[in-house]
Structure 1
Amino acid sequence: MTISPPAVREAARAVVLGDHDRVLLLRYDENGGFWATPGGSLEVGEDYTEALLRELGEELGLDEGVVELGPQLADRSKDHLVGGHVVRQLEKYFLIRIAAALVDPARATQPDTIREYRWWPLAELLTTPDAVYPEGLADLVAAVVEGRVPERPIVLP
């Protein structure tokens, strides 16, 4: 019996830093509850930049004109369930710095299953017992806040 590899799903995600270097995370209830960065899968014909700008409008109510995409910070490959099927999600994480006041969840067009939006101070992100994805996000944010933006994307677990 041959087991086929999981389908590949490409996704663009944002490490959103706002006022006082707080990072914006979204809370979901699935799998016992967790916090994650904004973003989502690419649609047919989209590149990572186009997908991320669309997702930021859908999830955060951001207009494309106010978002300036920064460098790609990280890559991640993770197998997980999507719609009851295992997929191999290939994610690219990009830095976005934006004033917190520009984020307006009331204008989000597709908030899906987002339960909460929260701006996290770095100290809390580093010490929270809550599940935060991707793993290694707190250390990556700490490096960026300290001015150590990776020259090449790092690989997150």
Structure 2
Amino acid sequence: MPTPPLRRAARVITLDEHDRVLLLRYDENGGFWATPGGSLEPDEDHHSAAVREVREELGVTAVAVGPELAVRSKDHLVGGQPVRQVERYFVARVHAGDIDPARASQPDEIRAWRWWTLEELLAGDQTVYPAGLGDLIAGYLRDGAPNRPLQLTS
């Protein structure tokens, strides 16, 4: 079976002033929560895509996207077509009051926005992508950014 076409993506682990993470709810595939982000536009780098996605999905006009924490590769369907999505995960700090879904220009089938504490995320009673996000955030809050992005498995 041939390798699906590559789809490059940038995702943003968005933390507020209380170390809560903002996740977005989607209904497809039985429903799940995920970090903001999406595919790169032609000739766009990952960092620029991360900034654009925060603006488009969260309505935040100015955000300082920080270091890259992780990378993940996943084969799945996009628009009914198989792709191999390679996601690079960056961290950004925002003030919770700056999030304004009413200003989002690309809501992309987002059904809900929710701030999660680390404890709620680690409790694991909801489907969250990527798997292990709580551990990734805990490590970042404890130790700072890794020297090299961590490889996530799913």
Which category of TM-score, normalised to the shorter sequence, fits these structures? over 0.9
**SS of 2:122's equivalent?**
helix
- Could you tell me how far 1:34 is from its partner in structure 2? 0.2
CA contact (8 A) 2:24 2:33 kept: yes
Moved over 2 A (4+): none
Q: State, as a whole percentage, how many aligned pairs show the same letter.
A: 59
The gaps in structure 2 that reach 5 residues or longer are none
Q: Which amino acid aligns with 1:56?
A: V
Equivalent residues, number: 153
Secondary structure of residue in 1 paired with 2:41: coil
Match of 1:69 among 65, 68, 73: 65
Task: Work out which of the residue numbers 104, 121, 124 in structure 2 matches 1:128.
Answer: 124
The separation in 1 between residues aligned to 2:145 and 2:122, in whole angstroms, is 18
Q: Residue in 1 aligned with 2:103?
A: 107
How does the TM-score come out when normalised to structure 1?
0.94
- Identify the residue that residue 22 of structure 1 maps to in structure 2: 20
Q: Distance in 2 between matches of 1:125 and 1:4?
A: 36
TM-score of the two chains, using structure 2 as the length reference: 0.96
Between the aligned partners of 1:91 and 1:7, the Cα distance in structure 2 is 14
Stretches of structure 1 lacking an aligned partner (at least 5 in a row): none
Q: Secondary structure at the match of 1:5?
A: coil
**Structure 1 residue 59 corresponds to structure 2 residue 57:** yes
Are the equivalent residues in 1 in contact too, given 2:69–2:89 (CA < 8 A)?
yes
Conserved 8 A contact 2:68-2:145: no
Shift of 1:128: 2.7
Supply the distance in 2 between the matched residues of 1:52 and 1:20 (Cα, whole angstroms). Answer: 22
Once the 2 structures are TM-superposed, how far is the Cα of residue 133 of structure 1 from its aligned partner? 0.1
The counterpart of 2:48, out of the listed 50, 59, 63, is 50
Counterpart of 1:135, as a letter, is A
Q: Match for residue 90 of structure 1?
A: 86
- 3-state SS of 1:113 partner: coil
CA distance in 2, matches of 1:90, 1:129: 26
Taking the aligned partners of 2:82 and 2:14, their CA distance within structure 1 comes to 28
